[in-house]
Structure 1
Amino acid sequence: MIDKRLRVVLAEDSVVLRDGMVELLGARGCEVVAATGTAPELLAAVAAHRPDVAVVDIRMPPTHTDEGIRAAVDIRARTPEVGILVFSQHVETVWASRLLADGTAGVGYLLKERVARTSEFVDALRRVADGGTALDPAVVTQLLRGGQRHKVDALTPREYEVLELMAQGHSNRSIATLFAVSERAVEKHVAAVFAKFGLRATDTDNRRVKAVLTYLAESGS
């Protein structure tokens, strides 16, 4: 049962698909506050309406290459409180990595042909709007570029719990509060996860994102 009317901005260049999604989301208790067909219109709609979540296709006019996901990255930088659900037929790894650079909380990436039920899509939409994550395993696999699986098997139970909470968008401070331990203790667990996953610090350090992506890939989330 929908207990909160979700406010959505929809960006889809196919008029038929866009109109169908507006009708579908309305029937599922969501309010589509704007439905757009170009990236500039998407940016303007998000700025004007400040929705709970924006649904974004990757390829939009005029070049039909990566306008949509570039706009999504821009939205995340300008209004991080707005959830982003990329909904596309394609995986664009470069810009997807940039979209996830500050963490996976409030971000989703689903492939159109792999969503079997309307309820799955709406559930993912609400999860992203609530600050959660909804990443198709096929997307995660491509982002990881075929990295080794089952790395989580090397983690201790507490390290696994910490990683699971990281995947839910919790900060070290938040995890420390949940476990009633010091933030320093959590930092040690996070460092252990990085070490066991072979994630070394770099100039553009995004080890936290890579650790979460590995967790999602191996858990099938």
Structure 2
Amino acid sequence: MRIVIAEDVVMLREGLCMLLTSHGQEVVAAVGDGDALRAAVAEHRPDIAVVDVRMPPSHTDEGLRAAIRIRRDHPGVGVLVFSQYIETRYAAQLLADGAQGVGYLLKERVADVKDFLAALDQIAAGQTVLDPEVVTQIMGASRRTQTLSTLTPREREVLSMMAEGRSNNAIASALFLSYGSVEKHVTQIFTKLDLSPSDNDHRRVLAVLRYLQG
């Protein structure tokens, strides 16, 4: 199997290279950022790209975005996202574009080298390999997004201003609404997001978090 590795931590990158080559695989390139990954895949046309999520320059989601582009430009190349992070938005997009030959495993949950190698074989054969925790978080993010879609445009506008830290008075002034109207919108937001009154939780904060996650 011909493999490209994208991992910005040198010791991990070298460790993966040694592991794979010692088990009879051919590592045709090992790189440390998304641009180099795309270039290596275009040059070598490997069977699989093993990709970390967070790479330079911003160390946020460059690897995952590069994986999506690889699937678009080189659909025959399998992709295994191998990371300690779950990035739900781009993970869902990667799977939505065609889950055949795609995997997403968490580094700390792969306890056996045989399991890792078996996952590579499955991906090369066009199968899908997903850590259950990845599935759980993607489904949770999808449900949150669907819940937010029930908000009216005005309610979303109010919620977005809540996320900016504005009070009801400030929102009323900015949107040329009465204070009572804003209160009604906020109450509807809580209802639609299923945020019941509680002595232990701050509904306004929870609503903002739901908005940011969605």
Q: TM-score range by the shorter chain?
A: 0.5 to 0.7
Of 54, 70, 88, the residue aligned with 1:75 is 70
Per-residue CA distance 1:20-59 (angstroms, 9 max, x = gap) = 1100000111100000001110000000000000000000
Any idea what the Cα deviations from partners look like across 1:80-106, whole Å, max 9, x if unmatched? 100000000000000001101123210
Instruction: Tell me if structure 1 keeps the 8 A contact 2:79–2:101.
Output: yes
Q: 1:59 — aligned with what?
A: 54
Q: 1:97 aligns with which of 70, 92, 101?
A: 92
Q: Which protein shows a greater Rg?
A: 2
The structural deviation recorded for 1:146 is 8.0
Tell me whether 1:43 sits opposite 2:50 in the alignment: no
Cα displacement (A) at 1:134? 0.7
Secondary structure of 1:16's partner? helix
Letter in 2 for 1:39: G
TM-score (norm 1): 0.63
Cα RMSD for the two superposed structures: 1.4
Q: How does 1:110-125 map to 2 (within 5 A)?
A: 110-125=105-120
- Which blocks of at least 5 consecutive residues in structure 2 are unaligned? 144-214
Q: Tell me which of the two structures has the higher relative contact order, counting C-alpha pairs closer than 8 angstroms and 6 or more residues apart.
A: 1
For residue 100 of structure 1, give the secondary structure of its aligned residue in structure 2: helix
Q: TM-score, structure 2 length as denominator?
A: 0.65
Q: How far apart are the structure 2 equivalents of 1:85 and 1:125?
A: 7
Is residue 12 from structure 1 mapped to residue 27 from structure 2 by the alignment? Answer: no
Number of equivalences? 143
Give ranges in structure 1 of 5+ residues lacking alignment.
1-5, 149-221
Taking only the aligned residue pairs, the percentage that are identical comes to 59
Contact 2:88–2:141 (8 Å) recurs in 1:
no
More helix by share: 2
* Deviating 4+ runs (over 6 angstroms): none
